[in-house]
Structure 1
């Protein structure tokens, strides 16, 4: 009984450790990781690093990429031009403009390098052969799982994937067998909001699914929808509108991001950065020389040449003393995720 309790306790401790929030920062010319209290998690000794994904982070030395674990130990030597995040215990790597994959021991899974490749998903990865310029799939051992006959491929979702051959679109199983044929007019599906006009000439507009023009062609760009709002750009200035085309915030900002999960968006007015809420009310004044969006309760900001972190009320929780902030605060075992949530429709 005691051993069971100790095991459960150990798992809880391990889970808490893996959920520790850290951020990569640059200090005195080197990169390291800090915790949310500002203390060093890993001392600054890396030429460059990115944040952890599933317990691993890529680091750079002499222009080459390698992989470290959460203890800061080098598990993949610095020898690649690029290393992606880990999926299915495999890293996508680039070397001399060719792609391959390596396992957790740093071993290449295939003697052959490919013209192009995508991350593993459900045990299979799309690869593009140089011989015929076509796509196929390999398994985690690097063995070809399907024929290389596809003009374009998508990730496997459970046991099937969408593929394209010419103008035809199919669904295949893990053996490459066609199990369904899709309509060729799938790209013509009407979106909730579509674009008209040209962004280069500042004649971009927006129409709804019924074809009604909700915003005339006088804009440069539009953002994706968050809830029922989106940002727009008119002659270099940003504002916010809703999905009916009603202007909620006039174009007065030089910069405007999507809203973070705490309801604040990073904006720039004049030459200073601040934060507004969804109603356009300034929550944190425009007083920073540079800034990042909020993630996990913190936002990186720059004052007098140094970076620190603030909370949602604009108070410094980590004083500005870093040369650069490479990324936001994330858990050690976090998965790859986009900075902001929005509707691609």
Structure 2
């Protein structure tokens, strides 16, 4: 909600209102996006441009697509190809790319671009940082801080701030950033690497959560589930048919056709019984369970049945 405005639609048209509900940008546009860097993309007569908070036209409506980046850069599409312009509508990078990534951390010094069906990297001026030889590109963090590139069926992790690859092209998958870790897959097994590309948890697991939750991740070994911490140490033994994390210090576990809740030290908090649970975690200290005898009801963190019926 930059500029203190909210996107709205009225009668199928896009505009913006302020925190008091006043329509500050009239609902006259076919489509649009939120304000960023003081401007907002809008679509009019099937073309994209940008306006400021006073609805003045900053970028004329002449583009097929458009996205506002950081550092006075706007990613725009014209005649089927992508390039960069600035807020004065000056061309910074020529319109020659099949794809040009607009979203990246403001600290990044290289940006993925695609030409002739291959991915590479360019800097803020359009100079080539990495040649266009890669088959796929993926983000490895929500902030756009890390990238993964694929070459000949394998991925490598890239740091666009330091402008270097952190791993070789040896992984089948590289997951998103979590607790300074990335989940990796190699030879059908899962493990984790750190932000330097070093292996923290060897890829030995049949399955593994992509994200650590409260410092642990559920993993699968020899067809049983357990959990490890961020150092790779086993904190919950591999003895469960299924295991689900939650954000309240407890995990829903299934063992011998029964379900129960354990803590992160494998202590039983709610004894195992023949019930099912959905969702698989507590909310505000309660969880909904179902049994053949009693149907749906709630229990608290002590396993005590509550009188609230669904």
TM-score for the superposition, normalised by structure 1 = 0.48
Residue pair 1:151, 1:165 contacting (<8 A) in 2 also: yes
Larger Rg belongs to = 2
Q: Distance in 2 between matches of 1:153 and 1:97?
A: 20
Work out which structure has the larger RCO, using CA pairs closer than 8 Å and 6 or more positions apart in sequence: 1
Which residue matches 1:214? 242
Q: Hey, what's the Cα distance between the residues in 2 that align with 1:108 and 1:32?
A: 27
The CA deviation at 1:161 is 5.2
Question: Which residue matches 2:197?
Answer: none
Please name the residue that 2:59 is paired with: 76
Q: Is contact 1:88-1:120 (8 Å) kept?
A: no
Alignment of 1:57-96 (within 5 A): 57-96=40-79
Matches within 5 A, 1:119-198: 119=102, 121=104, 122-130=108-116, 133-154=117-138, 162-171=148-157, 178=165, 180-181=167-168, 184=171, 186-187=184-185, 188-189=190-191, 190-191=208-209, 192-193=217-218
- Asked if 1 retains the 8 angstrom alpha-carbon contact of 2:81 and 2:95, the reply is no
Whole-angstrom distance in 2 between the partners of 1:124 and 1:98: 19
**C-alpha displacement of 1:36:** 1.9
Between Structure 1 and Structure 2, which shows a larger proportion of helix residues?
1
Q: What do you get for the CA RMSD once the two structures are aligned? A: 4.3
Is the CA contact 2:13–2:30 (under 8 Å) kept in the aligned structure 1? yes
Return the alpha-carbon distance in structure 2 between the equivalents of residues 161 and 170 of structure 1: 9
Partner of 1:56 in structure 2? 39
Normalising by structure 2, we get a TM-score of 0.52
Superposed displacement of residue 136, structure 1: 0.7
Alignment coverage as a number of residue pairs: 207
* Partner Cα separation in structure 1 for residue 101 and residue 245 of structure 2: 28
Q: What's the counterpart of residue 227 of structure 1?
A: 247
In structure 1, how many angstroms separate the alpha carbons of the residues matched to 2:62 and 2:36? 20
On the 8 A contact 2:7/2:15 being kept in 1, the answer is yes
Q: Does the 8 A contact of 1:56 with 1:86 survive in 2?
A: no
Does the C-alpha gap of structure 1 residues 242 and 193 become closer, same or farther in structure 2, counting only changes over 3 Å? farther
